[in-house]
Structure 1
Amino acid sequence: MKNLSIFFFALILLASACKKEDAVTPAETPLASFFADSTVKTGTKFTNSTFYEFGQRFQVSKAGKITKLGVRTPTPGTYRVVIWDVDTKTVIGQKTVEQTTSNIQVWGDITPLALVANKQYFISYLSNNWNTFNPKTGATFSYPIVKGNVVLLSYAYSSSTSGALPKYPATEDKTYIAGFVDFTFLPD
């Protein structure tokens, strides 16, 4: 009887240890979380003859990886999403995603892209149509904006052309955000 009790006790300990290891860290979609925030209002829809590369400069407070890139635009189409290394202004990740329905978030899986804590990155996409987002109160967004383990540092854009190579967005603006580009982040 004593051996049977020890066996069941060991089995229970083993089972509880497995459950702790199987815990899944929830994925974070920081820009979707921010745009759904009560401090943000959706503004005007734009369609323009000029294309722009626009997005957000960010860093993560905990190392992890990006596994998906996505957009949500007013007009269905194919969109290129880019992750940049801010220090070198070079592309470190890229995905083309196709959106078939207006204003529906679409995602594309990528080979997991490791991010270093407290290093700056930028996510952008190229488009000639977008929604704007504005602060509900005040004239500017107050950066940094913390959403989970992601810290949004600024919005920026650069004018471009259809089909152009990625162009690092250099003009920062705090009064609005154009476009809805996002990523899925899994902290380590």
Structure 2
Amino acid sequence: MKAQKIVLNLILIGILFTSCSKDDDLDVIEQTPQYPMKTLIETGHMELKSTMQQWVFSFEVGYKFKAFKNGKITALGIRVPNNDTYRVTLWNAETEEVLVTKNIVSSSGLLSFEAINPVNVTSGVAYFVSVNTNDYYTFNDSGNVMFPVESGDILITGYGVRSGTNPDQVMPTQYSKTSYVGVVDIKFMPNP
């Protein structure tokens, strides 16, 4: 009888060990979100030179970029001096196709992000993100070339601008490598 109990206990222990899920052995690797322009500003790559509120003209301003890795853009963000609602657009810069448009409510000088349906990003393809605004910050590096510059898995190739309210959402085509007006940004999640 004692031998039967030992055998039954050993069988039960064996069943417990073999029934453990193999998923317990897998480590889930979560990528850290990347905010390219926020990172450049916070690390001192450029300096704030001026603040413009309710300028008489509106501009479509933003930056052109490429990713070193495939991934997804899961949110768009802005930082402008006034509280208001601003149109933010993500474009395929090669085809000038609008990929997503989101109206974002700003929080006077704070970075405000809004989630979007994830947009797949392909490594090496040029994209552009912009905000239509007459409220903005101007950054530069004392006239030095600031772009292209790497920020995490993103290469920012230049700052672009188009004057006017841009109701037809035409992508900016004038670029600068020595200044940046905005701030507009993306939340990029690289693939593991």
Query: TM-score, structure 2 length as denominator?
Result: 0.86
Q: CA deviation at 1:76?
A: 0.9
Alignment pair present for 1:145 and 2:149: yes
List alignment gaps of at least 5 residues for structure 1.
none
Counterpart-to-counterpart distance in 1, 2:170 and 2:152: 28
Q: 1:79 aligns with which of 77, 86, 95?
A: 86
**Cα contact 1:69–1:182 (8 A) shared by 2:** yes
Identify which of 43, 58, 61 aligns with 1:51. 58
Q: After superposition, where does 1:12-91 map in structure 2 within 5 Å?
A: 14-17=23-26, 20=27, 22-47=28-53, 48-91=55-98
In 2, the alpha carbon distance for the partners of 1:140 and 1:82 equals: 28
Task: Pick from 90, 105, 110 the counterpart of residue 111 of structure 2.
Answer: 105
The answer for the alignment partner of 2:6 in structure 1 is none
The CA distance in 2 between the partners of 1:92 and 1:151, in whole Å, is 19
Q: State the one-letter code of the partner of 1:16.
A: D
Indicate if the aligned counterparts of 1:160 and 1:167 stay in contact, CA closer than 8 A: no
Determine what percentage of the aligned residue pairs are the same residue: 25
> 1 CA distance for matches of 2:93 and 2:132?
18
Deviation at 1:37, TM superposition (A): 1.5
Structure with greater proportional strand content: 1
Letter in structure 2 aligned against 1:158: R
DSSP-derived class of the 1:151 partner:
strand
Aligned residue pairs, count: 181
**One-letter amino acid of the counterpart of residue 180, structure 2:** I
Q: Distance in 1 between matches of 2:83 and 2:118?
A: 26
Unaligned runs of 5+ in 2: 1-8
1:166 to 154, 164, 169: 169
| CA distance in structure 2 between the partners assigned to 1:155 and 1:118 by the alignment | 18
What is the rounded CA distance, in whole Å, between the counterparts of 2:108 and 2:23 in structure 1?
50
